[in-house]
Amino acid sequence: MAAPPVGMPQDVVAFRTRTVMPEAYADELWVKRPEFMVATVAGVFADIESRLRKRYRTPFADPKPAIVLRWMARIATPDMYRARGVDSSDEQIEELNADRAKAYEEIKEAADAKDGLYDLPLRDDADESAISKGAPFGYSEASPYAGMDRQAAAIGCGLDDAWRWR
């Protein structure tokens, strides 16, 4: 793996590292349209974070979670190929578009999942885990009538339950 071009921002380097696009193509696009690459990557991160904002702590701090970087690369790759120049009927671009749609489905699943399929940092105002929990969490071996017996004994109602509490 060749070193990234000088001046390439970390997020664009993350794209270059994770995309299926050859490094030479990404480097060539960086030379010709660096602002496009920066804007595309930033736009994809903004899209991902806006979809996950209700459940997870966004924007994601550096280093960003690996799955978020993977989603970014899968979503941005078709746009990068189009900017470089590609035949829209090419089978490869169709596969990349399908992979992009799958990445969006995974993001939707992460945003809506009740089982916490993806391990991402949760919002501070949320519970510590994104995994849905059932209730009730209380459990007691006592019968529902034991509390009433205790109350009666405490006020001296003539019930001799003192032997139960010793």
Q: What is the pLDDT of residue 138?
A: 58
Q: Is residue 118 part of a domain?
A: no
Range of the domain at 71: 10-112
Q: What is the pLDDT of residue 130?
A: 47
pLDDT over 90, % of the chain:
42
Same domain, 71 and 147: no
Model-wide pTM > 0.75: no
Q: Is residue 129 part of a domain?
A: no
- One-character DSSP codes across 109-166: HHHH-SS--S--PBPTTS-S--S---S-----SS-TTHHHHHHHHHHT-S---GGGG-
Could you read off the pLDDT of 62-119 as tens digits, one per residue? 888 899 999 999 999 999 999 988 877 788 899 999 999 999 999 988 887 666 677 6
Same domain, 96 and 150: no
The total domain count for the chain is 2
Same domain, 149 and 106: no
Same domain, 79 and 161: no
Same domain, 151 and 98: no
Confidence of residue 131 (pLDDT cuts 50, 70, 90): very low
Same domain, 149 and 97: no
